[in-house]
């Protein structure tokens, strides 16, 4: 099969901040004599995304100029599009041990030394600038807002050099078989001969509307990357191991293997709606995707964002600024009359005809011990979900 030509990474080249060999040994020795920063779950996710190039062109946690520019204008200080600041927040006690021009050792909560940071800046965490701009609200009931409010009052900026992305405790399911870096997905796409690749972001099991969007995208691309987020999510979301079993199940029974790839993305959710949709698109560009599915209320939570705000935000950027093409889908629904999935563009609205689907509705049904019907979920996926819901209820 002919070699494919893949989309360029955001910023032009794929960042690699992993240290190895003698360099890694030297860094470990330096880290032993350096002040320590214990990372939060979100920061651990961010570190891996930086290390592997998923956050290209970032080489570390942002400094004050980038922080301000991102919050105000959705751009790095050099003008490159970047919608959400990737920050390393610390408290007063930790800040007192650090110095600009120095180094700090970054540790997992279990004690594993993950990386070192060359400290270029230590600056006040301007939450009054970040929160309303990034999230469009200051309501602490918003999980992203609350996460930032709970963070330290100081930010540490500078490039990182990463020794490992895997904690020694190994207590979290990492899905190593599916945990492909951007370099690895790009290599896989090239071997498959794919150049037009659609990526599908999800933090929920794939229901019938999701399946419809994926297959529409497959019709115009060489293949699809089903790319679930398995980093930190909010309480109430279905656990990653259950979701992964659902993805494996639906792909086995309802997708063409030669046109489908499953890989996980170890990012943390911000629930920042439109801005996070842009971030997710840029990340998928780094993984090698040329197209990115943006459906209803992408990365939203509650009613903080308009139904299609996450699609409209892409209009603010030129096609030379965000190379990956957003695939903007209408809200899909099951139509009894059509006996299949439809949207406002493909089938007329008829009273009491359509069943509207959402991950929230599926979670609500499961919490009541109800099996999602065929209009919501494929039966094989429903089997997985009801088994999990039943076992959860039995141990509650």
d(CA 147, CA 84): 14
User: What are the backbone dihedrals phi and psi of residue 161, each rounded to the nearest 5 degrees, phi first?
Assistant: -125, 120
For 389, the enclosing helix (H) or strand (E) is helix 379-395
286 annotated active-site: no
Pair of tokens at residue 72: 């105000």
Phi/psi at 327 (nearest 5 deg)? -100, 105
**One of 17, 203, 270, 284 is an active-site residue; which one?**
203
Strand (E) or helix (H) holding 31: helix 21-32
Pairing of strands 121-124, 36-38: unpaired
Residue listed under structure tokens 């900026």: 157
Query: How deeply is 126 buried, as exposed, middle or buried, from its count of CB atoms within 10 A (0-12, 13-18, 19+)?
Result: middle
Give me the DSSP letters along 315-358: GGS-TTT--SEEEEPPPPEEETTTTEEE-TTTS---TTTEEE--
Question: Are 59 and 160 in contact, with CB atoms under 8 Å apart?
Answer: yes
Tokens found for residue 317: 């950027």
Residue 218 three-state SS: helix
Residue 372 CB coordination number (10 Å): 23
The active-site residue out of 186, 196, 204, 275 is: 204
Residue 186: active-site member: no
Q: Which residues are catalytic?
A: 203-204
């Amino acid at each position: 099969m002919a070699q494919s030509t893949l989309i360029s990474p955001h910023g032009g080249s794929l960042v690699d901040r992993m240290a190895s060999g003698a360099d890694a040994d030297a860094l470990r020795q330096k880290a032993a004599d350096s002040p320590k920063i214990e990372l939060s779950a979100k920061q651990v996710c961010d570190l891996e995304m930086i290390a592997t190039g998923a956050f290209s062109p970032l080489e570390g946690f942002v400094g004050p100029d980038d922080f301000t520019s991102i919050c105000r204008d959705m751009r790095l200080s050099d003008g490159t599009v970047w919608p959400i600041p990737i920050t390393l927040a610390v408290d007063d006690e930790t800040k007192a041990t650090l110095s600009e021009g120095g180094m700090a050792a970054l540790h997992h909560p279990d004690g594993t030394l993950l990386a070192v940071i060359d400290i270029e800046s230590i600056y006040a965490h301007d939450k009054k600038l970040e929160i309303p701009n990034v999230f469009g609200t200051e309501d602490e009931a918003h999980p992203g807002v609350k996460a930032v409010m709970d963070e330290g009052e100081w930010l540490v900026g500078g490039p990182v050099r990463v020794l490992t992305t895997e904690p020694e405790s190994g207590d979290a399911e990492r899905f190593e078989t599916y945990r492909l870096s951007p370099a690895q997905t790009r290599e896989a796409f090239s071997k498959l001969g794919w150049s037009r690749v659609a990526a599908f972001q999800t933090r929920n099991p794939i229901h019938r509307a999701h399946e419809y969007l994926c297959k529409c995208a497959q019709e115009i691309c060489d293949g699809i990357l089903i790319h679930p987020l398995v980093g930190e999510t909010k309480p109430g979301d279905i656990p990653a191991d259950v979701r992964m079993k659902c993805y494996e199940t639906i792909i086995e029974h309802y997708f063409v293997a030669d046109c489908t790839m499953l890989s996980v993305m170890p990012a943390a959710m911000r629930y920042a709606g439109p801005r996070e949709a842009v971030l997710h698109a840029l990340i998928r560009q780094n993984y090698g995707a040329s197209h990115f599915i943006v459906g209803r209320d992408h990365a939203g939570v509650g009613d903080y964002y308009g139904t299609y705000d996450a699609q409209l935000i892409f209009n603010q950027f030129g096609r030379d600024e965000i190379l990956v093409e957003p695939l903007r889908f209408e809200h899909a629904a099951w139509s009894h009359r059509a006996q299949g999935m439809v949207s406002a563009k493909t089938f007329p609205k008829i009273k009491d005809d359509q069943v509207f689907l959402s991950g929230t509705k599926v979670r609500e049904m499961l919490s009541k011990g109800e099996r999602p019907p065929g209009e919501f979920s494929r039966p094989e996926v429903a089997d997985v979900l009801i088994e999990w819901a039943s076992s959860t209820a039995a141990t509650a």
